[in-house]
Chain A
């Protein structure tokens, strides 16, 4: 709870949390990013305070394990906050190491001018955990995976390290649990409609084609009859020369003057030409 009215108003973490963007990209697995609101106001206000009181700003981080130990870290801090040398009571390396550790830690103690609030395009933020896995007592280390956390700012008297002023608690922030990529099931993804259409139609048409070709071959080899015929039955006047490439009727000129087809009543009469000369008149035999 802020002690001195409006001077600490901008440290109200509700303002800080209010700038967390709903698309959630800020919340990564090990870090919680939240936004310094109006940081120059914050920083200049506290700068004024510092000149008066030479206090350090510490950023305090709590961890609450869920669901049963929801108030572990909070209650531990509340129990400790009136003691001196609070920055050494729960150093970062031991803060989460076992079930009995205090589950809170202080980080980034320092004067305002050392406080890292980089200004980027109008939003200002402090990134918890940017030191990675570190081992100094008050380093900005990463949080346990998948945990829920709250945080607040505190103002500490540099002389005896007691808590002078503090902001409100933030809301609970749940970090992403880290999933194993082997758990992604990349098996059967389902068949698309086009695959079914193409496969079924092509297979059936291919079968049809094979069947038709087989039937055609069997028909040609076994069942086909010769269709070659003399065009005029009983006549030798005109007959097919059986030439496969160029079938054409051949007219036998010995019977040119025969005007009609021979029948039983008018049989073929053979004629003889003298000297085999077709121009001379013929005699019937």
Chain B
């Protein structure tokens, strides 16, 4: 065979690259599992609005991450055996997985822009569905109650949202409570510190910051995990595939 030493050198580089690629693919799979599990429990905000493709991107990334792992192990085998047929199989399958991973990254980052590009969608959804009847209403209500309690915030941009706009909450419960009691500070035994002061807007007894910052940062965190890390893996795989093509040509 011509160029035996060059072939061997490229083979070693390919094997090392595939080992690294296998590790990266497995890490992508694990990260995508973390996103899909949604530890912050904010899925209803994206699900009810129909723009939940950050999680769709996460599911695709679980499968492509694991597929990258398997294919890279196969690639080690194909390179070591110096087999043209195996290398061709490796190249074609890796390309297919590459295409799916591209789709995952682009989908996740685009839908993040729809969802939390500005606070309008989240605010409109909150006003419409908080305290509403039905499945969507109850999911949104539970999510917002949890967020307001844990993050110590009220409304999307602030409590003013509840009084500036009409809402399902206002129509159901009247004007006595301008905002939900989850906006009020509570003692350790979960009792409200002072309901009357909270109703009047005394800012020592209620939360005055908006919840949108937290929601936006959570969705951004999920998106950066899927899209930017996926992007990094794809950049690495691009060069690995170029090398594999060269190796195939000199085999």
Contact = CB atoms under 8 A, between A and B. Distances in A.
| Chain A bound to chain B | yes
A85 B118 CA distance: 56
B86 interface: no
Given A118-B196, A181-B165, A227-B2, A195 B175 contact: no
A247 B163 CA distance: 85
Contacts of B205: 120-121
A33 B245 contact: no
Interface string A1-39: 000000000000000000001011110111101000000
Contact of A194 (B200, B228, B245, B249): B228
A117 to B, nearest CB: 11
A118 B199 CA distance: 13
Contacts, number: 140
A184 B120 CA distance: 6
A276 interface: no
B105 interface: yes
Interface in B84-136: 91-92, 95, 98-99, 102, 105-106, 109-110, 112-114, 117-118, 120-121, 123-124, 127-128
A202 B98 CA distance: 10
User: Chain B interface residue count: which class?
Assistant: 35 or more
Contacts of B202: 25, 120-121, 123
A192 B199 CA distance: 38
A222 interface: no
A246 to B, nearest CB: 9
B165 A28 contact: no
A108 interface: no
Interface stretch (A59-67, A213-221, A256-264, A265-273): A213-221
Contacts of B98: 206, 209
User: Chain A interface residue count: which class?
Assistant: 35 or more
B102 A203 contact: yes
A212 B245 contact: yes
Most buried by A among B1, B165, B194, B199: B165
B174 A132 contact: yes
A195 B194 CA distance: 45
A219 B228 CA distance: 35
B128 A181 contact: yes
B231 interface: yes
Contacts of A194: 109, 224, 227-228
A121 B204 contact: yes
Contacts of A189: 113-114, 117-118, 120-121
A202 B160 contact: no
B231 A213 contact: no
Interface string A180-201: 1110111001111011001101
Contact of B1 (A182, A213, A247): A247
Contacts of B91: 213
Contact of B120 (A29, A118, A186, A227): A186
B235 A205 contact: yes
B105 A181 contact: no
Contacts of A191: 113, 117
A130 B227 CA distance: 51
A210 interface: yes
Nearest to B179: A28
Given A28-B178, A181-B124, A216-B249, A198 B106 contact: yes
B117 A180 contact: no
A54 interface: no
A120 B208 contact: no
Contacts of A123: 202
B231 A201 contact: yes
B217 interface: no
Contact of B102 (A120, A202, A247): A202
Contact of A216 (B117, B238, B248): B248
B95 A209 contact: yes
B200 A26 contact: yes
Contacts of B39: none
A125 interface: yes
Given A129-B175, A190-B113, A199 B106 contact: yes
24 contacts: A23-B203, A28-B163, A28-B178, A33-B201, A121-B197, A121-B205, A132-B176, A179-B166, A181-B128, A185-B120, A186-B120, A189-B114, A189-B121, A191-B113, A192-B112, A192-B113, A192-B117, A194-B224, A198-B105, A198-B109, A198-B228, A205-B238, A209-B98, A213-B245
The 6 closest A-B pairs by CB, nearest first: A189-B117, A25-B201, A181-B127, A186-B121, A186-B120, A120-B197
